[in-house]
Structure 1
Amino acid sequence: MTAHGDEPLRYTVVIPTVGRPSLTGCLRALSAAAGPGPVRVVLVDDRRGAPRTPLPVEIPATLRPVTSVVPGRARGPAAARNTGLRVAGPVPWIVFLDDDVVPGPTWCDDLARDLAAAGPRTGGVTARIEVPLPTDRPPTDWERNTAGLATARWITADMAYRREVLESVGGFDERFPRAYREDADLALRVRAAGWELAAGTRTTTHPVRPAGRWVSVRVQAGNADDVLMNRLHGRDWWRRADAPRGRLPRHLAVTASAAAALTCAALARPVAATACAALWLAGTAEFAWARIAPGPRTRDEIISMALTSAVVPPVATWHWLGAHLRHRRTRPLPRPVPAVVPEAPGRAVRERVLP
């Protein structure tokens, strides 16, 4: 019981992981954070391959009694979080963390205040995400992309949801196979069901993890998830999710120019082929400069931007076209029946967070 006679409110932390070394740092920060800790920590081991070896993580002594490792299905973070939800235990709140974030030094206390302040219609509470950038030089293209997480809404790098809310909307949609748009999809469904999502005060750091030269090419797979979002939520989901539109229209135009240049050349139409090739070159050069100009402009960065700027548009187009084929039969989500949410705080709302 609290000093005010309220019942203690408990929470479980769910962390999907692919065994990155950063998981140990995440758990250390969680263990060291001041305030009431979680009643359970669920690590969902979502690594691919067999036979399965022990998860490479050092669990702090204070968390060992409440930490369990459960196998995932290697189907992405959405499926892994659903696995964690199923074994989270009878707690009113589930807090999702990514395995590469660092909770702040007062994270548990701040979370307690966030959840205590949640009104009866509050279905989830976000955190403040901080992305540290270099202070001695301009950030690289990859660092700027990662910094966008600081302004992303409802990001599950650190997101608390009421368990009843997650169960009522069916959890995460496992058709989203990567860490992209699965959080926006869930948030839109939760809000459509009549719940509110609030901004919390707790702070979590999301470092920029190391990435190779071709990382910007690999992340173009997210264009497929945007197609699925269009199918499920309608073409205005961007506005409702406050999500940036990105450069896909330009990528499609640049790719079309390249395809037209090759086609005209094959048809022995040199003038048209030259004109289309010039459009492709202009579009590629504009894209490359847009990425080079704000960065450190080192030799390696310039080479990376020049190479990937030629590859990104056709790869983005490929994923976009493939998703249209793959999701051609996907129907829009039915309009949900709004949840019956009490107008006045009940017992669960008066609860406080205790270990």
Structure 2
Amino acid sequence: MTTELTRETNPASTKEPHQEAGPAVTVVIPTIGRESLAATLAAVGPGPEIVVVDDRPGDGLEPLPVPGRVRVLRSGGRGPAAARNVGWRAAATPWVVFLDDDVVPGPGWVRTLTEDLARLPQDVGGSQGRLEVPLPPGRRPTDAERNTAGLAGADWITADMAYRRTALEAAGGFDERFPGAYREDADLALRVERAGFSLVKGERLTRHPVRDDGFWSSVRFQRGNASDALMRHLHGPGWRAAIGGHGGRLGRHALTTGMGLLALAAAGGRRRRLAAVAGLAWLGLTAEFARVRIAPGPRTPEEIARMAVTSVVIPPVACAHRIRGEIAVRTGRRS
């Protein structure tokens, strides 16, 4: 399957960067087959070339239910970074705009996208759309909904991000060592800027609906700590400031985990006082973490229970993923 994919995409990658055959923009959407893809495609509508990159692993899969005008490629389940690389390298247009498969471009999106990209100087390598995250009315958002809402203020995320093809070529595309949909877009933005291009914000509007990913979604999100290790390795200790991010809680998670392990280890011997002190420290840190997650939310019994349980689990899981990422960086393996 990989050999066939290489044959399909290589011819496009050999075309001249300035070639403008066909539409000026290609829309690339990586997907794992979520039902939300249909709404994304319908909102884009006719006009630009659309390439959907099917990143479901395995063979013998049912074809994706997409309109006939949509071109579908396969990337073999290697993650969104690899899927986007397959998509943009198969395009022949001077601009490529990346959309996620769970966003809904707003009315007139294609027209506004064209206006955003028109007459941009050659040193502008990318244009980001405005992202809106509608929250449920009539109540405070849950912890998961607040996390999604944070995307509205994030810089250079590929929920709606257009790149000049020459900028993608200069940066080498997405780094496929990033396994999930986390930090791979920020890494590309830093490398595009390092290649001499600037990035700007456009006027087009895209909506990112919130969705319920289940009780353990906040725990699964901790996988991103492995990608943070790769970002530090690639861009140095100041990478968070470079992408407009904040410090996060990994230090507190490490302290919480350390206190918990110390309490367990001391409780197995005769150091009961040490076990008690460490246990109280762990309890206090865990309670503080749960409090800051519960306080701004709807405070329903279900949300409180979810925050209480996951606040116990998140610190050690976050630390484990960070250690996994550091090992991957040092061994050259994919995390």
TM-score (norm 2): 0.91
**Partner of residue 214 from structure 2, selected from 208, 212, 217:** 212
Q: CA deviation at 1:10?
A: 0.7
Secondary structure in 2 matching 1:187: helix
Farther-moved stretch of structure 1 (131-140 vs 237-246): 237-246
Matched, 1:72 2:75: yes
Matched, 1:226 2:228: yes
User: Deviation per CA, 1:199-246, whole angstroms, max 9, x where unpaired?
Assistant: 100000000122101000001000000000000000101111111221
Hey, what does 1:127 align to over in structure 2? 129
Aligned-pair RMSD on alpha carbons?
A: 1.5
Mapped partners of 2:273, 2:60: distance in 1: 59
Hey, what does 2:6 align to over in structure 1? none
**Partner of residue 173 from structure 1, selected from 170, 175, 187:** 175
**Partner of residue 267 from structure 1, selected from 269, 272, 287:** 269
**Residue 123 of structure 1 contacts residue 165 of structure 1 at CA under 8 Å; is this kept in 2?**
yes
Hey, what does 1:344 align to over in structure 2? none
Q: How many residues align?
A: 313
AA of the residue aligned to 1:281: L
User: Deviation per CA, 1:279-318, whole angstroms, max 9, x where unpaired?
Assistant: 1000100011111110000110000000000000000010
Hey, what does 1:183 align to over in structure 2? 185
Q: CA deviation at 1:75?
A: 1.2
Hey, what does 2:24 align to over in structure 1? 10
Mapped partners of 1:92, 1:226: distance in 2: 31
Percent identity for Structure 1 against Structure 2 = 54
**Partner of residue 27 from structure 1, selected from 30, 35, 41:** 41
Mapped partners of 2:213, 2:246: distance in 1: 22
**Partner of residue 49 from structure 1, selected from 58, 82, 89:** 58
AA of the residue aligned to 1:87: A
Matched, 1:301 2:303: yes
**Residue 261 of structure 1 contacts residue 272 of structure 1 at CA under 8 Å; is this kept in 2?**
yes
Mapped partners of 1:268, 1:117: distance in 2: 74
Q: CA deviation at 1:11?
A: 0.7
**Partner of residue 81 from structure 1, selected from 74, 80, 84:** 84
Secondary structure in 1 matching 2:125: strand
Q: Which segments of 5 or more consecutive residues in structure 1 lack a partner in the other structure?
A: 1-6, 331-355
Q: CA deviation at 1:8?
A: 9.0
Q: CA deviation at 1:58?
A: 4.1
Q: CA deviation at 1:247?
A: 1.1
Write out aligned runs for 1:272-351 (5 A). Answer: 272-329=274-331
**Residue 264 of structure 2 contacts residue 275 of structure 2 at CA under 8 Å; is this kept in 1?**
yes
AA of the residue aligned to 1:48: P
Q: Which segments of 5 or more consecutive residues in structure 2 lack a partner in the other structure?
A: 1-20
Mapped partners of 1:110, 1:251: distance in 2: 43
Q: CA deviation at 1:143?
A: 0.1
Higher relative contact order (CA 8 A, sep 6+): 1
Q: CA deviation at 1:50?
A: 3.0
User: Deviation per CA, 1:162-204, whole angstroms, max 9, x where unpaired?
Assistant: 0111112110000001000000000000001110001100000
